[in-house]
Amino acid sequence: MSQELEDRFHNFGKRIRNFCLKLKCDIINTEYIRQVIRSSGSIGGNYIESSDDLGKLDEKMKIKNFKA
């Protein structure tokens, strides 16, 4: 797992948040802003989850559930 990449994802999420704070908040933009913030934060979470090594038993369980 790359600490540099994690830091870049974290900074990206903060920059998106700061950008969204500058946008006009009206009925239309509110939902778009929420979605952009959620999706920008999930990038780092997805990376961390995908690079976790939880062991052989967990891997077998995930493969078993995938086949079902």
Output the tens digit of pLDDT for each of the chain's 68 residues.
578 888 898 899 999 999 999 999 899 999 999 999 999 988 887 777 777 666 666 666 666 665 54
Does residue 36 contact residue 16 with C-beta atoms inside 8 Å? yes
Question: Which pLDDT does position 22 carry in this prediction?
Answer: 95
Domain that holds residue 48: 3-67
Question: Which pLDDT does position 3 carry in this prediction?
Answer: 83
The structural domain count of the chain equals: 1
Report the predicted TM-score, pTM, of the whole model to 2 decimal places: 0.67
What distance in Å separates the CA atoms of residue 68 and residue 57, rounded to the nearest whole number? 17
